[in-house]
Amino acid sequence: MKNVKITICLMVSVLFMATSQGFGDVYFDDGGTHNINYQINDSVWVDYQAPGMQTTVNLISGGVILSPYTLVLFNDSRLNISGGSVHGELQTGGTSQITISGGSVDCMLFAGGGKITISGGTVYNLSAGGTTQITMSGGSIGSDSGLGGESLMTMSGGSVYGDLYGGQIKILGGTVRGTLHARQSSQITMSGGWVGGLHADGGQIIMSGGSAGPLIVGHGGKMTISGGSVYGLSANDGDSGTGQITISGGTIGSPLQLRHSELIIIYGSNFAVDGNTFGFGEITSILGGENEPVRHLTGTLLSGEFIDNYFRIIDSSAKIVLAIGVAPIANAGSDQIVIDYDDNGSEDVGLYGYDSSDSDGTIVSWDWTDNLGDRIYPGGGATLSVGIHTITLTVTDNDGLTDSDTVTIAVVPSTTQPVCIEYPPMDFNKDCKVDFQDFAIFTQSWLDCNLDPPSACWQ
C-alpha cells in the first residue's frame, strides 16, 4: 500500500504542475467559513490571489475531493480536517495553516512557511520545504516523508510508519517505525518516543532519551548520545573517515562496529553496554568471568580486535577514546574553634566533606590529611591536640579525578583567652569580638590623632 500511495502522490504532483486552474474549479476567497461535507470532482482553490482574507475551509464527515484533483491553499487561508478525505493532493504555500484531527489525506505538499498540526487522522505521504512547521501529537503518517530547507517537525505523539528524511526533526514522543535520516545540514534531536532506526548520513543526531533501533553514522555524520537506549551502533564512513560518535550516557546494545577511521569518544562512566556499566578509562568484557580481560584503550586498536563478543573494530584506524571527565569539587566545611573542656590537651572534632560534589559522576573517596601530610581516619571526626590545625580534604570521583580543600581548626584550653582564627575587622583589643571596648579604643585613637597628628594617629 505504501508504494501505491507514493506513486499516486508523484503522479498527481506532476499533473498539477503541468496544468493551471480548470474551468470548473471551486474557489473560496471571501474570508468566510465553508464546510465541505459532499463530494467534489474539481480542484479547490482557497484564497487564490486574495491575501489577507483568512478564508476557512472545514472538511468534515462526508466530504471527499477525488483524485486527480487538488486542494490548494494560498496566502493565510485556513483548513480544518476532522473527517472526509482528500484522494488527490493537498498543497499549501504562504502562511496558510492546516489542522488535522480526523479523516485522511493521500498526498500533502508544503512550500513556503505554512503550519500544520496533526492530532488525528491519517496522512499517507508528506513533503515539506521552506520554513514549514509541523506539530504532531497524534494520528499517523502512512509512508516515507521528506523535509527540506528549514522546515521543522516536532513530534510528541502519533505514529509514522515510514522513514523521515532531512529537515529539522524533534522527537519528544510517539513512534516512528521506519528510520530517521539526518542528511547534510539537517539535525534530529530525540528526547523520548521510539524510533526504528537513526541514520546520521552527513547530518547530526542528538539523543538524550527515548529508544531507537540500530544507529548508523556515515558521510561525516555526527552523533551525540547522553541518554536513552540505542540497540546497536555502526559507523561506516567509507574513505572519508570523518564520522564521530560522542557518548556520555544512555545504554548501547550490541553490536557496535567501527570501520575505517571513525571516532567514538566516551565521557564519564554513567552509561552501560548491554546493561553493564563501563568504568572510566577501561572497558571490561561483559562475558562475566573473573579472569576476563580489562582493555585499557589508549590508542589505535588492531584490525579485527574484539572489545568483547559483539563490539568489534573492523579496520585498524578506528579508534575509541575514553575522554577525561569533569573533576569533582571538594568542600572541607567551615573553619572551627573547639574548646578542650576537660583540659586534657586534646579534643574530638567533626570533619565533614558532604558538601563536596561531582557534576558528571559520583565521589568514591574522602581522604583527610593533617599539617604534616599524615592521613587522618576521621569516621566522621578526629581527635586533635590543643593548637591550630590545617586539615586538607582530597576527594576522588569515579573517573579517578581529584580536588582538594582545607579547613582550619583551632583547639583551645577552656581557661584560655578567646582565640580567633582570623580577627574580625575593628577588633582592636583582639578579643575575637567587636564591642564598646573596641569603640572606645577607636574613639581615643581618633581624638589623639586630631590633637597630635604627627605622633598619635591610629593606623
Q: Where do the structural domains in the chain lie, given as residue ranges? A: 1-162, 201-323, 336-438
168-176 long-range CB contacts below 8 Å, 24 or more apart?
171/195, 171/210, 173/210, 174/136, 174/137
Type and span of the H or E element at 446 = helix 436-451
Going by their DSSP bridges, the two strands 164-165 and 244-247 should be labelled as unpaired
3-state DSSP assignment of residue 172: coil
pLDDT score at 307? 45
Q: How far is CA 60 from CA 84, 291, 308, 327, 366, in A?
A: 5, 69, 58, 61, 69
Can you list the pairs that 88-97 forms with residues at least 24 positions away whose Cβ atoms lie under 8 Å? 88/12, 88/43, 89/9, 89/12, 89/13, 89/16, 91/16, 92/116, 94/51, 96/46, 96/47
Give pLDDT, residue 260.
58
| CA atoms in the 13 A half-sphere facing the CB of 305 | 14
Cell of 183: 542528511
Lowest-confidence region among 61-65, 277-281, 369-373: 277-281
Please tell me the predicted confidence (pLDDT) of residue 59. Answer: 96
The four Cα atoms 133, 137, 138, 139 give a dihedral, to 10 degrees, of 10
Strands 283-284 and 294-295: antiparallel
pLDDT of residue 408: 92
Residues facing residue 450 across a β-bridge: none
Report the chain's mean pLDDT, rounded to a whole number. 77
Between CA 452 and CA 179 the distance in angstroms is 90
The Cα–Cα gap between 261 and 314 comes to: 10
Q: Pairing state of beta strands 56-59 and 263-267? A: unpaired
Contacts of residue 300, Cβ cutoff 8 Å, sequence gap at least 6 = 316, 317, 318, 319
Q: Which three cell numbers stand for residue 64?
A: 471527499
| pTM attached to this predicted model | 0.62
Residue 421's CB is within 10 A of a number of other CB atoms, namely: 12
CATH of 336-438, one of 2.60.40.10, 2.30.110.10, 2.40.50.100, 3.40.50.150: 2.60.40.10
Q: Tell me, what's the pLDDT at 87?
A: 92
End-to-end C-alpha distance for the chain, whole angstroms? 94
Q: How confident is the model at residue 308 (pLDDT cuts 50, 70, 90)?
A: very low
Q: Which amino acid is at 316?
A: S
Least confident of 45-54, 303-312, 336-345, 391-400: 303-312
Residue 261 in this model has a pLDDT that exceeds 70? no
Burial of residue 321 (number of CB atoms within 10 Å: 0-12, 13-18, 19+): middle
